[in-house]
Amino acid sequence: MSDMSNKVALVTGASSGIGRSTALAFAARGARVALAARREEELAELAAEIEAEGGEATFVRTDVSVAEDVRRMVEHTVETYGRIDYAINNAGIEGELQGIAEFSEELWDRVLDINLKGTFLCLKYEAAAMLDGGHGGAIVNVGSINSFLGFGGGAAYAASKHGQVGLTTSASAELAPQGIRVNIVCPGITDTAMHHRIRAFIGDEMFDTIIQNSVHLGRRGLPEEIAETIVWLCSDEASYVTGTTLTPDGGFTMTI
């Protein structure tokens, strides 16, 4: 994979799971990494880990549903490293799983604000910084197999993830002529805290049955595997890839 030395990667939702693994993957390829999430202590620990391995990292506490936080996140990255080459919009929540008839407006708003509005706000400020820098860049939004599939109890989550696909293709159409590629990665069942919470909700037996019957590879993905897909999309090897959806899901969506 192409050398990413002297490049700058901004990763939201970097405190755990796919975001954390993605930040580590960028750092391993020489990129300087800006870490963003709401959990500042975990960000500080990750930055220290990257620096202990000889990399460079900074962090900024960010709630992606708040425009001022996102503006400050991008501004901090540019002030620290002078540019943004890669932006990974990974922050998201599943929210409480509730039946549609009982689904509260407050829960709906919270999930959509973080997952969909948050992705929009990140795109808005990241694109502006890349355009100001005049050197192009690559943006990857992180969706889900629920960007195509709904599931009982997850109306807000599925709606927000479907919406990210429209945001991605629209942003790509607008920004590609200006040298900014925008893609979306939609992971399948991955070994993260979010999926452990879903496992607890539906039960181990049902969860394992879904994996055995629906995932061609017969196992959960690892956060590191999703991170490699994200980093590849940002690399020079993916220079002709924009406006597309990649589904590292072990074959799950091919079974539906």
Question: Does the annotation count 81 as an active-site position?
Answer: no
Q: Is residue 27 part of a domain?
A: yes
Share of the chain above pLDDT 90, in %: 75
Q: What's the pLDDT score for residue 218?
A: 75
Residues in the chain: 256
Q: What's the pLDDT score for residue 78?
A: 98
Q: Is residue 208 part of a domain?
A: no
For the segment 75-81, the average pLDDT, to the nearest whole number, is: 98
Q: Is residue 3 part of a domain?
A: no
* Residue-wise pLDDT tens digits, 85-140: 999 999 999 888 888 899 999 999 999 999 999 999 999 999 999 999 999 999 99
Q: Is residue 154 part of a domain?
A: yes
Number of domains in the chain: 1
Q: Is residue 128 part of a domain?
A: yes
Q: Is residue 244 part of a domain?
A: yes
Contact between 91 and 60 (Cβ < 8 Å): no
pLDDT band at 249 (very low <50, low <70, confident <90, very high): confident
d(CA 161, CA 94): 10
Q: What's the pLDDT score for residue 60?
A: 98
Q: Is residue 132 part of a domain?
A: yes
Domain CATH number, residue 165: 3.40.50.720
How confident is the prediction for the chain on average, in pLDDT?
92
d(CA 111, CA 89): 15
* Residue-wise pLDDT tens digits, 159-196: 999 999 999 999 999 999 999 999 999 998 777 777 66
* Residue-wise pLDDT tens digits, 186-224: 998 777 777 666 666 667 777 677 777 778 777 777 999
List the catalytic residue out of 86, 125, 157, 240: 157
pLDDT band at 3 (very low <50, low <70, confident <90, very high): confident
Q: What's the pLDDT score for residue 248?
A: 87
- State which residues form the domain around 182: 8-190+223-251
Q: What's the pLDDT score for residue 88?
A: 98
Q: Is residue 100 part of a domain?
A: yes
